[in-house]
A and B are shown apart, each in its own frame.
Chain A
């Protein structure tokens, strides 16, 4: 079964750092496009970052320079290192596989269950 499980969320003070993990099963993280998407309380979905199968990484302007996406082949796990956290980073963070068959534009499937990050003093 294809599945994603996020861990690592919690309460963190402004300016602090946190690392989220996303363990994959049923497929290989390094062979796929993998992304992080967040959802602030009561708000819509916001794309955060992507790492392509070749290793290229991209970020939303709101997190560029503060967040780093990476992956570990041996653990089949995706990570999001977050630093200089702000109150506006408070959200549920989802990891998702971005499927992109040849000639088609990527969509996200599956999604993990999400992990809540709360930035507050």
Chain B
């Protein structure tokens, strides 16, 4: 079961800015562990979007940015484009006995 909570959906018109929150706890994000983000286009495998809270892999547009504060993190997409319509997941490490890696519940981004 997911221990990182995300909103089920967010939407925006082309060109707008949207943000996705990722809320954790004292055993994961709040403990100082990094947050990473993945984009999953329909029918495909997840793809790394942001690593180490706010770093973009080569090839990821600078429209995507990440931040972290306290027990939460956020992904921002500026200048929203039609090809950004996808599911987005946050991920962190968890120091509790029962989990090592935890994912967020996932957020569907819809471009209006």
* Interfacial residues, chain A to chain B (CB-CB below 8 A): 35, 37, 44-47, 50, 58, 60-61, 94, 98-99, 104-114
* Interfacial residues, chain B to chain A (CB-CB below 8 A): 1-2, 33-34, 36, 38, 44-48, 51-52, 57, 89, 91-93, 98-106
CB contacts (< 8 Å) of A98 on chain B: these are 101
Give the tally of cross-chain contacts (CB within 8 A).
Answer: 66
Given A104-B34, A106-B93, A108-B91: A47 and B102 interface contact (C-beta under 8 Å): yes
Complex contact A111–B89 (CB within 8 A)? no
CB contacts (< 8 Å) of B103 on chain A: these are 37, 44-47
CB contacts (< 8 Å) of B89 on chain A: these are 44-45
Given A50-B101, A60-B99, A105-B92: A44 and B106 interface contact (C-beta under 8 Å): yes
Complex contact A58–B105 (CB within 8 A)? no
Given A44-B105, A47-B102, A50-B100: A107 and B91 interface contact (C-beta under 8 Å): yes
- Sample of 17 A–B contacts (CB below 8 Å): A35-B101, A44-B89, A45-B89, A47-B99, A47-B100, A47-B101, A47-B102, A58-B100, A60-B99, A99-B51, A105-B93, A106-B93, A107-B51, A108-B46, A109-B57, A110-B48, A112-B45
CB contacts (< 8 Å) of A37 on chain B: these are 46, 103
A37 to B89, CA, bound (A): 13
A98 to B98, CA, bound (A): 19
Interface centre among B46, B91, B102, B106 (most CB of A within 10 A): B46
